[in-house]
């Protein structure tokens, strides 16, 4: 029975969510599977991947063939690296401790790279938000300026208002 490691689509229309599964190559895309190895959510940035590394390595060592997309995900999470290191242990080129040490160093490096990318994304989002706020403030200031009467008109109205009571006072004196 040929086994494939592939993606099984779940989620709703326009919002895909995938399970990473080991399945018989002859079964349908969303059909029966042998084992669920993890999940993949491409809807968030960066994409969220949860994966059972040891289970995936076990399936690969037993001859399972990953699809192209599944291979990219497995490589991103270090499954292919761990399989390669375990192949070196089997040949006697490395000890198990050395292989684990190399794999953990690779994981740390990968985690640092992902953290820096997340930081850059957060900075870009904050910058875009600040620019949008500044643009909105400029538009609001322009609207306020367009809707308020000119300062000269306000002074003229006040000046006329002051003269009017004086004129009525003069008129009342004349009547007496």
Write out pLDDT tens, residues 28-50.
988 999 999 999 999 988 889 99
- Distance from chain centroid for Cα 13: 19
CB atoms within 10 A of CB 7: 20
Q: What pTM, to 2 d.p., does this model score?
A: 0.69
Whole-number pLDDT of residue 150: 66
For 44-98, write each residue's pLDDT tens digit. 888 899 999 999 999 999 999 999 999 999 999 999 999 999 999 888 888 889 9
Whole-number pLDDT of residue 170: 55
Whole-number pLDDT of residue 162: 58
Closest to 51 measured CA to CA, from 79, 82, 29 = 79
Residue 61 CB partners (closer than 8 Å, separation 6+): 83, 86
- b/e for 11-37, b at 16 or more Cβ within 10 A? eeeeeebbbbbbbeeeeeeeeebbbeb
Residue 83 CB partners (closer than 8 Å, separation 6+): 57, 60, 61
Q: How confident is the model at residue 171 (pLDDT cuts 50, 70, 90)?
A: low
Residue 156: is its pLDDT beyond 60?
no
Whole-number pLDDT of residue 41: 96
Q: Compute the distance between CA of residue 103 and CA of residue 89 in angstroms, rounded to an integer.
A: 13
Residue 173: is its pLDDT beyond 90?
no
């Amino acid at each position: 029975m040929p086994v494939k490691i592939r993606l099984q689509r779940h989620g709703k229309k326009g919002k895909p969510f995938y399970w990473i599964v080991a399945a018989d190559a002859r079964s349908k895309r969303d059909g029966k599977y042998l084992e669920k190895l993890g999940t993949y959510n491409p809807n968030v940035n960066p994409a969220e991947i949860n994966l059972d590394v040891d289970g995936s390595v076990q399936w690969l060592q037993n001859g399972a063939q990953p699809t192209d997309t599944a291979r990219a995900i497995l490589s991103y999470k270090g499954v292919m690296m761990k399989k390669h290191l375990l192949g070196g242990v089997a040949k006697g080129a490395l000890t198990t401790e050395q292989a684990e040490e190399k794999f953990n160093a690779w994981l740390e490096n990968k985690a640092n790279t992902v953290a820096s990318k997340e930081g850059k994304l957060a900075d870009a989002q904050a910058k875009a938000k600040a620019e949008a706020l500044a643009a909105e403030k400029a538009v609001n200031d322009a609207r306020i300026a367009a809707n308020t009467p000119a300062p000269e008109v306000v002074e003229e109205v006040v000046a006329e208002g002051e003269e009017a009571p004086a004129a009525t006072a003069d008129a009342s004196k004349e009547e007496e």
